[in-house]
Amino acid sequence: MTTTNGSLDGKVALVTGGSRGIGAAVALRLARAGADVAVTYVNGKEAADGVVRAVEALGRRAVALRADSADPREAAGAVDRAAEAYGGLDVLVNNVGVGLLGPLDSLSPQDVDRVLAVNVRGVFLASQAAAAVLADGGRIVTIGTCMTQRVPGPGGTLYAMSKSALVGLTRALARELGGRGITANIVHPGPTDTDMNPADGPYAPAQAAMTALGRFGTADEVAATVAHLAGPDAAYVTGAEFSVDGGHAA
């Protein structure tokens, strides 16, 4: 059993899209801080089960919930299921998202509907459901993108639009829920080494060159900021944007 740092002892967290990449790194970070963790997945059951085993190896409870954030009932229902499984909820991490990029004239109405359903509506509905079950002093942390602050080239219209909507949602949630001590913040990753966007991929050199540090970030570097915002030291931080982008927006 691995020792945790205890800052989230006794807390329950839900990480949407937590079966891989940044979501999986966040789930493990929160577990190391002492939280019991639920993760959602759509098709990656094996990967989600692997995250559950890794969390349990840290001495925390974990559960994987299949939930499609494009489905309004499942987006909200995952929150209720996580709270029911553990008898409450303290942290919601809105990590799930669709990263559809392409020329403006190539994007169909169906593409628009799909991206907005997951990246905007699903996040709103999960946050709405969380507001009803979160303990006072709870946390909502949403994963945005560096493209809300700087779009370095063509092809990002739909994705940047969808993630930019989450900035407004975050600020409004901070006002809506602040009376209960619940904070809402958004983290903007830059180019991050994941299986969907590997640091050794064909487009990686150009992406790395757009950062001040000249490299990709790691999923754990993003997760570290999320874990801080989920913990007690960030109790006076709300409605804020945090760039973990290597200076992409500098």
Burial class (CB in 10 A: 0-12, 13-18, 19+), 62: buried
pLDDT value of residue 196? 86
Interval 119-138 mean pLDDT: 97
pLDDT value of residue 4? 60
Flag the least confident range among 31-40, 200-209, 216-225.
200-209
pLDDT digits (tens, 9 = 90+) for 70-115: 999 999 999 999 999 999 999 999 999 998 888 999 999 999 999 9
Residue 41 and residue 18 in contact, taking contact as beta carbons nearer than 8 Å: yes
Question: What is the value of pTM for the model shown?
Answer: 0.95
Q: Is the pLDDT of residue 223 over 50?
A: yes
pLDDT value of residue 118? 97
CATH number at residue 91: 3.40.50.720
Residue 5 resides in a domain = no
Task: Count H helices and E strands in the chain, helices first.
Answer: 8, 9
Domain that holds residue 166: 12-244
Residue 7 resides in a domain = no
Q: Is the pLDDT of residue 185 over 90?
A: yes
The residues annotated with a catalytic role in the active site are 159
Residue 86 resides in a domain = yes
Q: Three-state DSSP class for 200?
A: coil
* Overall domain count for the chain: 1
Q: Residues, the chain, total?
A: 250
Residue 4 resides in a domain = no
> Helices 72-86 and 123-133: crossing angle, nearest 10°?
30
Residue 249 resides in a domain = no
Residue 100 resides in a domain = yes
Q: Is the pLDDT of residue 35 over 80?
A: yes
- For 233-237, which contacts have Cβ atoms below 8 Å and span 24 or more sequence positions? 233/7, 234/139, 234/183, 234/185, 235/137, 235/181, 235/183, 237/183, 237/185
Residue 250 resides in a domain = no
pLDDT value of residue 1? 40
* Helix (H) or strand (E) run with residue 39 in it: strand 36-41
Residue 1 resides in a domain = no
Which tokens hold the place of 185?
């913040």
pLDDT digits (tens, 9 = 90+) for 142-184: 999 999 999 988 989 999 999 999 999 999 999 999 999 999 9
Q: Name the pLDDT band for 2 (thresholds 50, 70, 90).
A: very low
